[in-house]
A and B are shown apart, each in its own frame.
Chain A
Amino acid sequence: ETGVTQTPRHLVMGMTNKKSLKCEQHLGHNAMYWYKQSAKKPLELMFVYSLEERVENNSVPSRFSPECPNSSHLFLHLHTLQPEDSALYLCASSQEGPLGGSLETQYFGPGTRLLVL
């Protein structure tokens, strides 16, 4: 495996289900990100783990819960989602410098297309 991989690629879930999205980066990077992409909207940053710090985006509902067990793996746990949460969920990684920040290129995974019924 190379680059950034995501599983599953497609997911259909009911509003009462619990599921998890998985991301793995094989680039040796030290920062990983979850983005949400809805139709006609810009990419929205959800969470970032950078230099082993988690930076929360307070606008993300608590029904989304990230987990980063190590620098190569990132999860997004989903529970009691709403139909408006249907979107493409993208994971990305980058190599940040000693002071952090997004100076370096972010590489994206293929995304998980999520449909909430």
Chain B
Amino acid sequence: EAGVAQSPRYKIIEKRQSVAFWCNPISGHATLYWYQQILGQGPKLLIQFQNNGVVDDSQLPKDRFSAERLKGVDSTLKIQPAKLEDSAVYLCASSYVRLGTYNEQFFGPGTRLTVL
């Protein structure tokens, strides 16, 4: 079974530029998550989709970050414009949905973003 795919793996941009990350979840996984992991920290949830609807985006800086999952499969996370503090690894994860129990989240390898 193929895992969660993310691209690009690395990206270097200058502040105020725009950047987009792509995620392809595991086939059949209805829930998709984007996390931000700053060096030395644990992952922090930015946004959670179930199919193509947003479940939780309370920690997404909406003035500069946006995400979409138009067909309920692939997802794109965009930053526009980027700031120095956005330098981090952006992780995508996906899971099945089975109510009443924890659904294991499978993580992709991440995209390491460096903002200069």
Do A and B assemble together?
A: no
**Chain A interface (Cβ < 8 Å from any Cβ of B):** none
**Chain B interface (Cβ < 8 Å from any Cβ of A):** none
